[in-house]
Structure 1
Amino acid sequence: MSAPSNRALTTRDWNRRSVLRAALGLTAAGSLAACGGDNGRGGGSGSGTRLTQYFHAYGEAGTEQAVKRYAKAYDGADVSTQWITGTNFESKLFSALLTENAPDVFEFHPQIQLVKSGQVADLTELVEPVKDDFNPADIASHTIDGKIWGVRMIDDPQFFYYRKSLLADAGVEPPATLDELVEAAAKLTTDKVRGVFLGNSVTPVMNPLIWSTGADTLTDGNEIAYHTDAVAQGLTKLRSMFADGHLLLDAPADWWDPSALTQGLVAMQWCGMWAMPVIEEALGDDVGIIPFPASADGGRPAVVNGGWSMFVNAKSDHLDEAKEYVKWLWIDQKEHQEDWALSYGFHIPPRTSLAESAEKLRTGLAAEGVRLFNEFGHFDNPAWTQAMIVALEGVVADAVRKGGDPEAALDKADRTVGRELKKLFG
C-alpha cells in the first residue's frame, strides 16, 4: 500500500497491479506452500481460534509490518498473515482456495465468479450499518444479487503523471484529447527520453481508452459494449505511437513503479496515486497529473479506480470468527484504516468520513488526484472476468504491438467475452 516518500517503489516483489480487475476463476489445482517469511502470528489473548489472511506483497515499505501489527492487536483470534511475494498472487490465492489450507480471509477485487461458486461469504450484515459512510460506487461494485460480498480497504486512482519542465521545453500543453497525446508523445521524444510510458505491455490503458471514447466494457444488461468504431480508431492511434518509437518499451520496472518518470526515462507515465509521495520526493513541484484524455467526439477523460478489498472464505472452518475479524479491522478500527490508506503512500480511503478528514489529500497534487477520482473515475465491474481481461489484453497485443487490424482483434475478443457472458448469465 503506502510507502515512505523517500524510498522508490520496486518491482522485485511487487505485482500489485497485474491483472487487477478480476479473479482467475476457480480452476487452478495444487496447494500453496507457505510464503512471506514471518507468519505474523497474532499475540493477543485470543480465543484459541487461528485464522489465516492472505495479502499480496505491496511495494511500499512498511506495509507488511503494518498488516501484522493490526493482526497482533486483535484479541478475538490468533491471526497469521501470508505475505505472498512474486508475480502470481492471483494464481497462488485461487490454488490455495481449493485446498484444506485455504485462507480464512483474503484480499482481492469484486468478482462475480467468487459469488457464483460459493467461495465468498455474504458480508451484508457487517457493512450495512455503516454503508452510508462508504463511497457509493464501492458499495455498488461489491453488491451482487442484492448482497454485499466484500469490504473495500483502499481506492487507487490511476492517471498520467507528467514532467512540467519537459512539456514546457517542448512547447507542449498537457494533452486534453488522444490526438493531442499522440502529438505530445512525438514532440517529447528525444534521443534520451521517450514521450510516454503506458506500461511494457501497453495493456493498462485499454479500459481507459474504451471509457474515454464514451463506451464501456459491458452494458448494464451485461452485453458487449467495447466494440465500437471509436475504440478501433483509438487503438490505431496507440499503434502510431508504438510504431513511431514514441512509447517507452521494455522499461526496467513496469507501469506501477514510477521509476521510469523519476529517473528521467520518460516525460509522461501512466501510474497510480499510490506512487505520488515517491514522485513528489524525487521531482518536487515539477510534476502534474491528468486523466486519460478524451478519445472521440462525445467522449470524456477517464481515470481507473483500482483498489483492494477484503473477503471472507465462505468455506472456512471458522466462518463466524473470520467475519468478526474483518468487522473489527475494516469496519470498526478507523485508525488502522486511515493508517493503511495514508501512511505508506497515497490511497483514498473508501470511508467517506476518513476521506474527507484526510489532511494529506486536501492540498496540492493529492487534492487534484482526488478531484480526478471523483470526476472521471470508473470502478470495478464484478461481471468483467479474468478471461475477459485477457481477451482485451490480446486486442492490445494484436492491434498495437503487432500492428494487426483492430476490428479483427476486437472480433476475436468478442468470441471469448461472448462465451464468458453466456456462462455467467445464460
Structure 2
Amino acid sequence: MSRPSVPRRSVLRGALGVGALAAGVGPLAACAPGSTGAEPPKLSGTAGPSAKGEITIWNRSGDLFKVFDAAIDEFRKAYPGIKVNHQAVDIDAKLANTLITGADLPDGSFWDDAKIGSQAEHLYDLTDLIEPYRARTSPYKLSVNTVDGRIYGVPWDLDPGLLWYREDLLEDAGVDPAGLTTYDDLLDAARALKEKNPEAGPIHLDKDPFLGQLWLEMLANQQGTSLADAEGRVRLDSKEYRTILTWVRSAVDEDLVTHAEYLKQADLAALEDGRQALVPWAVWWSFAPQQLLKKTKGKWRAAPLPAWTPGGPRSGAMGGSSFIIPAKAKNPELAWLLYEFLCFKEPGYSAVYGPGSVYPGGLNTSVPSYTPARRPDTPLFEPVAALGGQDLWKVAVDAAASIPAAAPIPAWWAKSVDYLGNDLQRLMEGDMTPDDVIDDATRKIQRNLVDRA
C-alpha cells in the first residue's frame, strides 16, 4: 500500500470541524436545520444511462481524491453522456459558506457526517431516492444523515471500532484474544501484560482532546447513545457515559495505560517496544502497521471491540463521511447518478474499495455503509500483509454489522472539544473524576454552545 498523501488523522480533524474552527465557524453554528423557515427541496426524479449533461464534483485532495478519480472513470463508462469535472477543494474552508451564499456551487460534494445535520436546509432532501437502499444501509449512517425524519446525505464509508493488539505479547502473557469479550476482560488482559512487563502501559489512551473525544463517542455509540439526542439536547449525564469514564479512570488508577498522541513519536515508541499492546480504535488504525511501525510490522492483529455488557454490540463508529447535493445545484439528478453508482452499484463500490493504483491491495481504512457491498465472503480489499496476512475485511465488516444507530451530529460538536475533550484529558491524567467530567462539561456545553445556538 502506498502511503496516503493525507493521513487519516488530518482527514478526521476536518471531519468534525477542527479545520473549520481555526477559520471561524459562525455560519455553521447559526444555520441549524429550518432556521430560515424554508423547507429543503426534495430530489425524487432520476435519469437513465442515456442521460447527458455536465456536473462539477468536489472532493478533498490527497489519496481519497485519487481513489475517487479512478472510480469516476468507471462511472464515465456507464454514463458516457455525462461529463464529470472532478475538483480537489478545501471543503472544510469553502463548502459551508458556498452553500449559504449559493454562488459557484458544485453539483455534489464529499462531506463529513458531522456537518450534514447543521446544513440540511441548504441540501437536497434525498429520502425518496435512498428509499430503495434504506433497508440495506447501515442504520448508523442513515441516522447521522437524517434530520426531522428526512435524509440529506448519501451514506458512504463506515468506520467501525476494532481492538488492535500485539499477538506475540498477548501470547507471552497467556492472554487469549478470543476471550476479550468485555471491557472488564480488557482490563484483566492489561493486568496480565503489566505483570509480565512492569514498564508497560498496555492500553492506549489518546492525548489529543479532539481524538480523545471522538474515541469517547465511538464507545458511546457502541452503547447506543451519543453526546446529543436527535433534538440536540446534551445527554452526557447518563449511565452509558458514566460507565465509560469510570472504566477509563480505573485503567488510569491501576497504571494500565499509555497516554500519548495518536501515532506521534511517544506513541510509536511505546507500540514498537512493547509497552502498548492494546489499542481500541477505528479501522483506520490499520495505517500504523502498514506505514509507520517498522519493528513490529506483522505482529499486530485486529479483533472486535469488547462489549460493555455481555452479549452487547462489539463495535461503534469513529468518524465517517457521506456525499451531499446542494439545494441550488444545476444538475442534481446527474450528481445523484454518480453517488448512486459509487455507493450502491457495481462496479462503483468495487472501484472505490478494490485494488487500484493508489492502494494496490484495496482501500482498507474503512468499509462501505451499504451492506451488499460488505459481504464477508466477497472481500473488496485483500488480506493485509502488515497484519500477518490477516483477513481484515471479515473482521471489519462483522464489526460494522453490529454498530447501533445514532443521532445527527450537532453543529456545536467540534466546539464541545474545548470542554468535554479537555475534561476527558484531565480524567486520563487522574485530575478529574467521572462525575467531575460529566458535571463540568455538561454545564459548559449547555451554557456556551446549546443555549447560544
TM range, smaller chain: 0.7 to 0.9
Confirm whether residue 105 of structure 1 aligns to residue 116 of structure 2. Answer: no
Confirm whether residue 82 of structure 1 aligns to residue 91 of structure 2. Answer: no
Distance in 1 between the 2:86 and 2:412 partners? 28
Q: Which structure has the highest helix share of the two?
A: 2
Query: What does 1:2-401 align with in structure 2 at a 5 Å threshold?
Result: 4=1, 7=2, 15-18=10-13, 20=15, 27=27, 49-55=54-60, 57-58=62-63, 63=67, 65-66=69-70, 69-70=73-74, 75-82=81-88, 84=90, 90-98=92-100, 100-110=103-113, 111-115=116-120, 118-174=121-177, 175-188=180-193, 190=197, 194-201=201-208, 202-211=212-221, 216-219=226-229, 223-228=233-238, 231-232=241-242, 234-239=244-249, 241-242=251-252, 244=255, 246-253=257-264, 266-274=276-284, 276=286, 279=289, 283-284=297-298, 287-294=301-308, 301-304=314-317, 306-331=319-344, 333-343=345-355, 344-346=362-364, 347-356=366-375, 359-360=378-379, 364-375=391-402, 377-387=403-413, 389-390=416-417, 391-401=419-429
The answer to whether the Cα contact below 8 Å between 2:412 and 2:450 also exists between their aligned partners in 1 is no
Distance in 1 between the 2:199 and 2:70 partners? 40
Distance in 2 between the 1:166 and 1:198 partners? 19
Distance in 2 between the 1:22 and 1:342 partners? 29
The answer to whether the Cα contact below 8 Å between 2:307 and 2:314 also exists between their aligned partners in 1 is yes
1:157 CA drift (Å): 0.9
1:149 CA drift (Å): 1.2
* Structure 1 residues 182-221: Cα deviation after superposition (integer angstroms, max 9, x where no partner): 4533543558864122334233321244356676534566
* Structure 1 residues 216-258: Cα deviation after superposition (integer angstroms, max 9, x where no partner): 5345665433313663464244245457373151354499x99
Match of 1:403 in 2: 431
The answer to whether the Cα contact below 8 Å between 1:192 and 1:265 also exists between their aligned partners in 2 is yes
The answer to whether the Cα contact below 8 Å between 2:163 and 2:279 also exists between their aligned partners in 1 is yes
The answer to whether the Cα contact below 8 Å between 1:248 and 1:266 also exists between their aligned partners in 2 is no
**Could you state the TM-score of these two structures normalised by the residue count of structure 1?**
0.73
* Structure 1 residues 145-199: Cα deviation after superposition (integer angstroms, max 9, x where no partner): 3322111122221221111211121233444443443453354355886412233
1:126 CA drift (Å): 2.7
SS in 2 for 1:103: coil
The answer to whether the Cα contact below 8 Å between 1:127 and 1:151 also exists between their aligned partners in 2 is yes
* Structure 1 residues 3-24: Cα deviation after superposition (integer angstroms, max 9, x where no partner): x3xx456765852233646796
Distance in 2 between the 1:179 and 1:394 partners? 25
SS in 2 for 1:370: helix
The answer to whether the Cα contact below 8 Å between 2:156 and 2:322 also exists between their aligned partners in 1 is yes
**Could you state the TM-score of these two structures normalised by the residue count of structure 2?**
0.69
Distance 1:54 1:101, change over 3 A: farther
Distance 1:259 1:12, change over 3 A: farther
The answer to whether the Cα contact below 8 Å between 1:53 and 1:105 also exists between their aligned partners in 2 is yes
1:136 CA drift (Å): 4.4
Distance 1:120 1:211, change over 3 A: closer
AA in 2 matched with 1:114: Q
SS in 2 for 1:198: strand
AA in 1 matched with 2:85: V
Distance 1:400 1:11, change over 3 A: farther
Distance in 1 between the 2:132 and 2:168 partners? 49
Distance in 2 between the 1:52 and 1:221 partners? 31
AA in 2 matched with 1:66: A
Distance 1:127 1:277, change over 3 A: same
AA in 1 matched with 2:431: G
AA in 1 matched with 2:347: E
SS in 2 for 1:287: strand
Q: How many aligned residue pairs are there?
A: 393
The answer to whether the Cα contact below 8 Å between 1:77 and 1:321 also exists between their aligned partners in 2 is no
* Structure 1 residues 274-324: Cα deviation after superposition (integer angstroms, max 9, x where no partner): 455874897547524131442x79976542264321101123344444344
Instruction: Mark the runs of 5 or more structure 2 residues left unpaired by the alignment.
Output: 30-49, 356-361, 383-389
The answer to whether the Cα contact below 8 Å between 1:122 and 1:149 also exists between their aligned partners in 2 is yes
AA in 2 matched with 1:414: T
Distance 1:101 1:352, change over 3 A: same
Distance 1:285 1:124, change over 3 A: same
Distance in 1 between the 2:320 and 2:54 partners? 29
Identity of aligned residues (%): 20
